[in-house]
Amino acid sequence: MESRERFSKFDIGACNCGACAEAPVETIDMSASRRGFLRGALVSGAAVAGGALAFTAPRAAYAQTTMTPDAALQALMDGNRRFTERKMTAFDEDLSILKQNTVEKQEPFASVLSCADSRVPVEIAFDQSIGHLFVARVAGNITTPEITASLEYGALVLGTKVIMVLGHGNCGAVKATMEGKAVPGQISALYAPIRPAVDQAGGDVEVAIKANARNQAKTLAQASPVLAGLIKDNKLKVVAAHYDLATGKVALLS
């Protein structure tokens, strides 16, 4: 029997939200082969030294929305249709009721990994109000260890049923990677994760943007044992999509 370490619920519930602090905990075993990934993505290197890994996560991960992954994806797409048809309903929800329901806990049904671009207003584009979407944003909608950790938290602890990687037209991060010019500061840190999509695109920016969304979705689904396990158990779906700046329409990418 390999030695194990237990992490307190606060290790994974570091945001101090109600769901983390109050929910009963459940131990999840991670094989030693997964430690390399987790070292970068979920916990500090010091915390995973030696033996197989176990950590505790609130049981709330399995007690949140009862939506299926397909229903969660449909809810996103229905919201985007309301947005593009200018028939939004999110702002009709009573703010006081929303606050009462979300101060102590959050129960988002979907996660979205979006570019930081100001022209992609995620909650508005899906006609969603407070507490419904767990949104991670970074230029180029790339999967850094911190982004992956956030989305693992959203799915495993908060119970989001779908993760949508949302690329968008005319993405500056993808264009900059394609141009490959020297840039100041740490901006070029965005290039490496986007580079495979640029290499696949034959010089076409829009093709690269869509390829990048697909690549990042694939990385999430395959490189994260946490997410892969949820997908295998039919508790999660990871999809790539594209946001059209002119129409506001979100199209799923196959």
List contacts with Zn ion (CB under 5 A): 115, 117, 171, 173
Residue 164 or 171: the one with the smaller Cβ distance to Zn ion is: 171
Residue 171 or 239: the one with the smaller Cβ distance to Zn ion is: 171
Please state, in angstroms and rounded to a whole number, the distance separating the CA atoms of residues 77 and 21. Answer: 32
Residue 17 or 211: the one with the smaller Cβ distance to Zn ion is: 211
Please state, in angstroms and rounded to a whole number, the distance separating the CA atoms of residues 246 and 63. Answer: 39
Residue 60 or 173: the one with the smaller Cβ distance to Zn ion is: 173
Min separation Cβ 115 and Zn ion, Å: 3
Min separation Cβ 218 and Zn ion, Å: 19
Residue 64 or 80: the one with the smaller Cβ distance to Zn ion is: 80
Contact status, residue 60 vs residue 92, Cβ threshold 8 Å: no
* Residues contacting residue 191 through CB under 8 Å, at least 6 positions apart: 176, 177, 180
Min separation Cβ 63 and Zn ion, Å: 35
Min separation Cβ 238 and Zn ion, Å: 19
| Nearest C-alpha neighbor of 29 from the set 7, 54, 8 | 54
Min separation Cβ 245 and Zn ion, Å: 10
Block residue for tokens 């029997």:
1
Please state, in angstroms and rounded to a whole number, the distance separating the CA atoms of residues 197 and 205. Answer: 10
Residue 112 or 173: the one with the smaller Cβ distance to Zn ion is: 173
CB atoms within 10 A of CB 87: 9
Q: In whole angstroms, how far apart are CA 232 and each of 39, 63, 67, 75, 227?
A: 23, 18, 16, 22, 9
Min separation Cβ 210 and Zn ion, Å: 12
* Residues contacting residue 6 through CB under 8 Å, at least 6 positions apart: 27, 54, 55, 56
Min separation Cβ 174 and Zn ion, Å: 7
Residue 7 or 117: the one with the smaller Cβ distance to Zn ion is: 117
